[in-house]
Amino acid sequence: MSNPPQGSSLASPVQAAAVTGDKATLLKLIGSSPELIDQEDQLGRTPLMYSVLGDRRNCAEALLKHGAQVNRSDRSGRTALHLAAQTGNHRLLKLLLSRKADCTHRDLRDITAVHLSTRHQDTRCLALLLKYTPPGQVDAQDQRKQTALHWSAYYNRPRHVRLLVRHGSNIGIPDTEGKIPLHWAAGHKDPEAALTVRCLLEAAPTESLLNWQDYEGRTPLHLAVGDGNQEVVRLLTSYRGCNVAPYDNLFRTPLHWAALLGHTPIAHLLLERNNSPNIPSDSQGATPLHYAAQGNCPDTVRVLLSHPSVRDEADLEGRTAFMWAAGKGSDEVVRTMLELDHELEVNRTDKYGGTALHAASLSGQITTVRILLENGAQVDAVDVMKHTPLFRACEMGHREVIATLVKGGAKVHLVDKDGRSPLHWAALGGNANVCQILIENNINPDAQDYEGRTPLQCAAYGGYIGCMEVLMENKADPNIQDKNGRTALHWSCNNGYLDAVKLLLGYSAFPNQMENTEERYTPLDYALLGGHQEVIQFMLEHGALSIAAIQDIAASKIQAVYKGHKVRRAFQERKNLLMKHEQLRKGAAAKKREGDNRHKVRVGQTECKQRDENLMERQNKSNQQVTNEIVHEWHGEAVGNSEDRECDHQVDNKNIEPKHLKHLEQNSKPTGKNQRRTACVQSSPPENENINSVQTRISPSGTSNAQSSSLGNETPKEMNWDDNPSHKHTQNRRISKHRMESPDVVVHRIEDLIQKESRKKSHKKKKK
């Protein structure tokens, strides 16, 4: 069977033989293989160390006899002598020392065998080691700067302490914490530790040792009080030079610690030994009564209040011990102080205006709240922030306290100096149940503080999904903006709360609301600034835009509007020019039309002239024919009776009347000379006048050369004219005038009328 390699975790046969005391096998193995005598296991332990651990003296002697190294150390730096001192094996310790084992050897933590020997009640190992220890090595210090005397005091070994003191050990050496052996002895909970303390003090009962302060400023009395060792406290305070009220680094005295830990007998003892009339206070201004009240130690409170120098004074924050007790829910102390101190002010305020009810409500002490309300505490007392106890309870989510305060008359609609309601503080604390309770008490879910922030925005700031859901289920508006234009979605995106973002968008939150600051950030911008990738992706999927994207869209719209504006402006600038151009174009067109019209007029005039000439020629021929017929008829009928002649004359006039003359009479009303001419044409020839007399009176010029006949003034009765004399006179005048004109005159006048009518028609055509 092969030997295990050096450093194996398994014990080799030689090590097994050493620990079990099998000397024969051990000798056989080391005889066949001398190198096995100092073989190490994984921990670096040799067969000699195994024989010490197994208390196998015979094997240890055999190994030492065959050359085993007595001062060889294991991986922790300890030798076989360390192991013997640690186990308290006096026999093996003596054997090893006889073989020149080094009692001053230090392990990796600078611990010697002398340190380890103090762990046992038996002092023989320590005494033996001290014989072999040089005088200057008795106070060898380990890595914590502790000597064997520190170890003896820590393990409460009074005999070891005496032995070390007799061998010149120094009791005033501080360790790394600044503690001397007296600190370790005084800090032991065993009542017999007083004996160890006494042993140390007998060596040097000086004030410096009694009042020695470690690096935290604590004396042995502090440690004795802290461990509640009344005997050690009594012993220490019995020395004349002992300071009963030393301050540590926190300015706390042993009485503070006694009150805090509820060591009532020690507190009573310290009060008796304290000759100062003033009760000390610590760095916070707190007295021992504060700590006793905080720790709910009614007996200690009674002891303290029974002392004439103890009063319920305020600390540096203005808080009394009664407030401390209320804040910690020390109901027994509250009742005790209400019972003992008849001058106690239940509504006394601290530096910030808070009362005991504020403190109890903040910490959720329901029974304390009830006790205070029963003893006259003001339910709506406000502090400097204008917070009532209800505000603090809502912030911390204490539902029972809230219900008790509301039942006690607390007002839910008050706001603090920032304009925030209890619902704001409930949302900031993420207390969904409290939000529901407050809403059920008719508080506005959309109430805004002086910055315009709603409870929903407060909940979104912390990502409290429960609060947000409760608020929006009760009609809270997710799109309300604060003074900076931020909505609840801005705050959720800023802090990367994806679930809150989903919830807000599910309740129709607008994803592209821009804030009112100079940057005009949207919720997506806040998510981008925070680097919240999941929120960014989700917002983009739901149509969110950054301010840059919105600016691009706005820029395109503005450019389009600006282009239209430029066109309109250019048109306005060139409008006059365009209008002038249009006027010139119209003028040119008008001139062209005028020229065309003139040409047409000239052509029309030529055509009209030709047509008029043709018409005049036809009219002349017609008039000549008519004249001849008239003359002929007048000549043939001169002798007939007047009635027939008149009728025939009327018929003839109708027959000879030109069609154009009839048209002229229908479309024009004759006046003046034309009227007279028409009357002459229509009038009948005189009855008694023959054709010769007519021809004699009418000259070629159309003027009269003879006088009218006397018969011309009569009108035949057969014509049935009006019998009115004036009418008859008019008719006679017409007849007489007609009788003065010859047919040629009539023809000429007819021609004049025709020419005038032609000229009128030509003039109208020119105008058109």
pLDDT in tens, 683-733: 334 333 333 333 333 333 333 333 333 323 333 333 333 344 444 444 444
Assess whether pLDDT exceeds 90 at residue 68. yes
Percent of residues, the chain, with pLDDT higher than 70? 81
User: Would you state the pLDDT for residue 653?
Assistant: 43
C-alpha torsion sign, points 447, 452, 455, 457: positive
Q: DSSP readout, 412-427?
A: SS---TTS--HHHHHH
Coil vs helix vs strand at 616: helix
Which among 320, 344, 368 is the end of a domain? 344
Count Cβ atoms within 10 A of the Cβ of residue 720 and give its class: 0-12 exposed, 13-18 middle, 19 or more buried: exposed
Say whether both 603 and 742 belong to one domain: yes
What residues have CB less than 8 Å from 530, skipping those under 6 apart? 493, 494, 495, 496
Distance CA 20, CA 613 (A): 173
Q: Is the residue at 362 inside a domain?
A: no
How many residues can be counted in the chain?
768
Among 294, 293, 211, which Cα is nearest to 253's?
211
Say whether both 611 and 745 belong to one domain: yes
Q: Is the residue at 369 inside a domain?
A: no
Largest separation between any pair of C-alpha atoms in the chain: 213
Domains held by the chain: number: 3
Assess whether pLDDT exceeds 50 at residue 645. no
Which domain CATH number covers 521? 1.25.40.20
Which among 556, 584, 603 is the end of a domain? 556
Lowest mean pLDDT across 27-31, 308-312, 580-584:
580-584
Distance CA 101, CA 650 (A): 190
Contact in structure between 330 and 299 (CB atoms under 8 Å): no
Assess whether pLDDT exceeds 90 at residue 650. no
Say whether both 744 and 610 belong to one domain: yes
Distance CA 52, CA 365 (A): 61
Q: Is the residue at 538 inside a domain?
A: yes
- Neighbour tally for 362: CB within 10 Å: 20
Say whether both 612 and 532 belong to one domain: no
Contact in structure between 143 and 109 (CB atoms under 8 Å): yes
pTM over 0.95: no
Q: Is the residue at 19 inside a domain?
A: no
Contact in structure between 456 and 478 (CB atoms under 8 Å): yes
- Neighbour tally for 619: CB within 10 Å: 20
Q: Provide long-range contacts, Cβ within 8 A and 24+ apart, for 608-614.
A: 608/758, 608/761, 608/762, 608/765, 612/755, 612/758, 612/762
pLDDT tens-digit profile of 109-138?
Answer: 999 999 999 999 999 999 999 999 998 899
Say whether both 524 and 660 belong to one domain: no
**Structural domain range at position 641:** 595-767
Say whether both 696 and 747 belong to one domain: yes
User: Would you state the pLDDT for residue 176?
Assistant: 97
Say whether both 548 and 664 belong to one domain: no
Say whether both 471 and 527 belong to one domain: yes
User: Would you state the pLDDT for residue 743?
Assistant: 55
Say whether both 761 and 620 belong to one domain: yes
Which among 508, 532, 556 is the end of a domain? 556
Q: Is the residue at 611 inside a domain?
A: yes
pLDDT tens-digit profile of 299-345?
Answer: 999 999 999 888 899 999 999 999 999 999 999 999 999 998 878 89
Mean pLDDT over 584-610 rounds to 82
Lowest mean pLDDT across 208-222, 320-334, 673-687:
673-687
Say whether both 643 and 736 belong to one domain: yes
E runs forming strands in 407-497: none
SS (H, E, C) 528-559: HHHCCHHHHHHHHHCCCCCHHHHHHHHHHHHH
Which of the two residues, 591 and 457, has the higher pLDDT score? 457
Mean pLDDT over 55-66 rounds to 93
Dihedral of the alpha carbons of 575, 576, 580, 586, in degrees to the nearest 10: 40
pLDDT tens-digit profile of 353-396?
Answer: 999 999 999 999 999 999 999 999 999 999 999 999 999 999 99
pLDDT tens-digit profile of 251-287?
Answer: 999 999 999 999 999 999 999 998 877 888 999 999 9
Say whether both 525 and 652 belong to one domain: no
CA distances from 557 to 330, 515, 569, 570, 628 (A): 69, 21, 18, 20, 95
Q: Is the residue at 729 inside a domain?
A: yes
Distance CA 345, CA 460 (A): 41
Say whether both 731 and 624 belong to one domain: yes
Q: Is the residue at 671 inside a domain?
A: yes
Q: Crossing angle of helices 321-328/356-363, nearest 10°?
A: 20
- Neighbour tally for 89: CB within 10 Å: 20
Mean pLDDT over 753-761 rounds to 71
User: Would you state the pLDDT for residue 590?
Assistant: 87
Q: Is the residue at 285 inside a domain?
A: yes
Contact in structure between 299 and 289 (CB atoms under 8 Å): no
Which of the two residues, 756 and 224, has the higher pLDDT score? 224
